[in-house]
A and B are shown apart, each in its own frame.
Chain A
Amino acid sequence: MAGITREVKVIRCWRYLDAEPPIPSIRVEVHGVKESVESAFRLDTGYPGQLLISTDLYEKLGLHLAELPEKEFGIYRTASGLVEMKRSQAKITVPDIGIDMEVIVETPRRILFERNLAGRELINRLKLLLDGVKEEDCIIEYE
């Protein structure tokens, strides 16, 4: 078979989330002002930001207490018009693999949102292998 052989070290894997079809995800611990919560985040390459979290999780983490100034809240142009977000500062860690970074977390400002998404700004900082056949995705290392 044509191609380049690379030696890859698999650091950590997660099962895809149950759905039709299954969804690649990573488990991340988000550290807010009130609490730290570990949760599964869908990998969503359509979402341009870092983390988009549910309305409930935003409240549970106490992210109203670490918000960015209102003029820096995000606005997304969607097929049905503008959707406003509120934005907060937080930290994320992925236990055992040394991911420890500051992130900007968003949630829609006026609409109930019930999912947790990891977007391109976060995904693009990771080396990820999507194994759709095994329904798992992995953090990897390679030269």
Chain B
Amino acid sequence: MKVRKSFTIDERLLSELSEFRWRNRINSLSEALERVLRLGLNSLKTVQEIKEDEEILEQRRVNNETYSRIEGELSRYLGKYIIIALGKFIGAADSFEEAVEILRREAPEAKHAIIQKVGREVVVEREWPGLLERLR
């Protein structure tokens, strides 16, 4: 049995749903929504969502704002480990161990900190087709 309900939905999400419908030649938007919900609910059955500590989330936000603000000036610390905690730049170190010591000394109450080796390149987006089975 089908039932009629009304929802509010983000405009961009709606256009993605519409694109999904046309790409997969689905008869109606309702049918496309049903298919997407079924896929989503099935994949969520195998995982358990977690919520991080509010204080960590807030300190991460503030520390990352600080990092974005000073990022352009960090080239003078090339090869060193810079430390940001409690929304402040608190120092630079020659090694990871030294960075941890500075953090413990200067911001012992911090719940979140950034320790970043200046100049190191990391790959952000990657393929990992096998992850699904690993989450179970």
Residue pair B115, A89 in contact (C-beta under 8 Å): yes
- Interface residues of B, count at CB 8 A: 41
B72 at the A/B interface (Cβ < 8 Å)?
no
Q: How many A-B residue pairs have CB under 8 A?
A: 120
Is A21's CB within 8 Å of the partner chain B? Answer: no
A-contacting residues, B95-136, CB 8 Å: 96-97, 99-100, 103-104, 110-117, 122-132, 134-135
Do the beta carbons of A78 and B116 come within 8 Å of each other? no
Q: Which of A48, A49, A55, A66 contacts B100 (CB 8 A)?
A: A66
- Which residue on A lies nearest to B128, using beta carbons? A76
Checking A75, A108, A110 against B124 with a beta-carbon cut-off of 8 angstroms, the contacting residue is A75
Q: Does A70 contact B (CB under 8 A)?
A: yes
In the complex, residue of chain B having the shortest beta-carbon distance to the beta carbon of A89: B115
CB 8 Å contact bits of A104-136 with B (1 = contact, 0 = none):
100010111101010000000000000000000
B78 within 8 A of A: no
Known: A80-B43, A110-B49. Contact between A68 and B116, CB under 8 A? yes
Residues in B whose Cβ lies below 8 Å from that of A83: 128, 131
Please tell me if A14 contacts chain B, counting CB pairs below 8 Å: no
Interface of B (DSSP majority class) = mixed
Contact across chains for B130 and A67 when beta carbons are under 8 A apart: no
Q: Does B60 contact A (CB under 8 A)?
A: yes
Known contacts A77-B128, A111-B135, A117-B134: A104-B115 contact under CB 8 Å: no
Neighbour of A89 across the interface among B96, B111, B124, B132, CB < 8 A: B96
- Taking A46-B130, A70-B64, A78-B132 as contacts, is the C-beta distance between A91 and B96 under 8 angstroms? yes
- Chain B minimum-CB-distance residue to A33: B100
Complex contacts, B117 vs chain A, CB 8 Å: 89, 102
Q: Given A72-B122, A80-B43, A112-B47 in contact, is the A67-B129 Cβ separation under 8 Å?
A: no
Note all chain A residues with C-beta closer than 8 A to B48. 111-112
Is A64's CB within 8 Å of the partner chain B?
A: yes
A residues with CB within 8 A of B: 33, 44, 46-49, 55, 64-81, 83, 87-91, 102, 104, 108, 110-113, 115, 117
**B-to-A contact residues, CB < 8 Å:** 39, 43, 47-50, 56, 60, 64, 67-68, 71, 81, 85, 96-97, 99-100, 103-104, 110-117, 122-132, 134-135
Q: With A68-B122, A108-B135 given, can you name 12 additional A-B contacts, CB distance below 8 Å?
A: A46-B129, A64-B56, A64-B111, A64-B112, A68-B116, A69-B68, A73-B124, A74-B126, A83-B131, A102-B96, A111-B135, A112-B50
